[in-house]
Amino acid sequence: YCLELGHWGFSLNHQCLKEHVDEVLKARLGNQFPFNGVGKNWTDRFVEEHSDMVGS
């Protein structure tokens, strides 16, 4: 999803990425997913881990 948006010129900032990930995981995990969503450093770690694909 992130790569496809970037391909079309619509890159996600950290807040939008977090919101999207939270929505996907909430849909999959329901009440098992934490109310506050992924942790505050999750997007930083994601971008760092996948910097070869998503840039930084």
Residues 6+ away with beta carbon under 8 Å from 17: 2, 43, 46
Cα angle 38-40-45, degrees, rounded to a multiple of 5: 85
pTM of the model: 0.77
User: Which pLDDT value is given to residue 37?
Assistant: 96
How would DSSP label each residue in 1-55? -HHHHHHTT----HHHHHHHHHHHHHHHHGGGS-TT-S-TTHHHHHHHHTHHHH-
Domain spans, the chain:
2-54
Rounded distance, CA 33 to CA 35, Å? 6
User: Which pLDDT value is given to residue 33?
Assistant: 96
User: Which pLDDT value is given to residue 19?
Assistant: 94
For the chain of 56 residues, list the mean pLDDT of each consecutive stretch of 10.
Answer: 80 89 96 95 90 68
